[in-house]
Amino acid sequence: MRIAFACDHGGYLLKPIILKTIHAAGHEIIDFGTDNAEISVDFPDYVYMACDAVQRKAADRAIIVCGSGVGASVAANKLKGIIAGLCHDHYSAHQGVEHDHMNVLCMGARVIGAAIGEEITRAFLNAQEDHDERFLRRMSKVRKLEEFGHL
């Protein structure tokens, strides 16, 4: 898979761990930065770059890291076709892909450490969408909410 990656200054400390994990799993990385923790940057700029790659199909999925993960998740979910989940545990990272067809993983570097970040990344990368009728029905309703603002 092609994985878009982005982080802001608050997520930078997890960047090398996440990139190493993606690479070790045999996936291609499209790195949108940021490249240091010292210069404060605006997370929506980086969220947009990674999610735009998913929207354009230049990337299959994206991983975005900010300080808490909340801002990244909020911003990502504003973009059409993006299903972003804030995950700080193994179960949510794979279940979000399987049941909810999540295509963007958001994490908070100030919430989790390196080992958990690595585990969550692997769970997200290894998960496959479940196309059972109940999950397809539910995701159809989510798309209606995105498109029309109601069911």
Q: How far apart are the first and last CA of the chain?
A: 32
Q: Among positive and negative, which fits the CA dihedral 151, 47, 60, 95?
A: negative
Question: How far apart, in whole angstroms, are the C-alpha atoms of residue 87 and residue 138?
Answer: 20
Set 27, 90, 99, 101: catalytic member: 99
Pick the catalytic residue: 7, 66, 87, 106? 66
9 is catalytic: no
The answer to whether 92 and 83 are in contact (CB under 8 A) is: no
Q: How far apart are CA 63 and CA 133, in angstroms?
A: 27
- Specify whether 87 is catalytic: no
Angle at CA 112, nearest 5°, toward 77 and 90?
Answer: 70
Q: Which two tokens stand for residue 51?
A: 């999610």
50 sits in which H/E element: helix 43-55
Residues acting as catalytic residues: 66, 99
